[in-house]
Amino acid sequence: METELDRFGRELSHRVDWLLGELHRLKTENERLLRENSELREAPQVRLHADTGCETAVELPIDLVTAVLPGRELSLEAVHFYRQLPQKVNVADFFGCADTAELSASRARALMLALLRQGLVRQQGRFLAKCGAT
């Protein structure tokens, strides 16, 4: 006759076995992701494609790609806008770059916010300064 304690012990043993299996699976996945990350960092350049499936691509230096890849939130349009910006941007430069890129003021602000979120641009007093390489 099986007691409640025996059943509990058997169930606990099954759960421990399952957890050990999960631990092994997660370690294997972590090692694969670390290898993939290392390969991406070693690449001299990476091509980022537009989310629309367009064949157009932009070649970026690896330090800029490293800043972008974790969230993959930067659009091709934002990359083009980033490249047009001078190293330090004041309000006049900002709107000049928006005009050159034929962007509305609201669209240019949205792209600038994306650049700020990615850490590619930061505020320096009354200027915005580029952090990544162009």
Q: What is the CATH number of the domain that holds 109?
A: 1.10.10
**How many folded domains does the chain comprise?**
2
CA atoms of 114 and 75, how far apart (whole Å):
9
End-to-end C-alpha distance for the chain, whole angstroms: 75
Confidence of residue 132 (pLDDT cuts 50, 70, 90): low
Say yes or no: 55 and 14 in one domain: no
Q: Which domain holds residue 20?
A: 1-42
Q: In what order do the strands lie in the sheet with 121-124?
A: 88-89, 127-130, 121-124
Q: Among 27, 42, 57, identify where a domain stops.
A: 42
Say yes or no: 93 and 38 in one domain: no
* pLDDT at site 40: 62
Among the residues of the chain, which ranges form H helices? 4-42, 62-68, 76-84, 91-100, 105-117
pTM value is 0.46
Say yes or no: 61 and 125 in one domain: yes
Say yes or no: 111 and 99 in one domain: yes
| Of the candidates 89, 94, 100, 95, the residue with the CA atom closest to the CA atom of residue 122 | 89
Sequence letter at residue 90: N
Q: Name which residue leads in pLDDT, 22 or 96.
A: 22
The sign of the dihedral angle between the CA atoms of 118, 70, 63, 46 is: negative
Q: Among 26, 42, 58, identify where a domain stops.
A: 42
Say yes or no: 4 and 50 in one domain: no
Lowest-pLDDT choice from 2-16, 70-84, 96-110 = 70-84
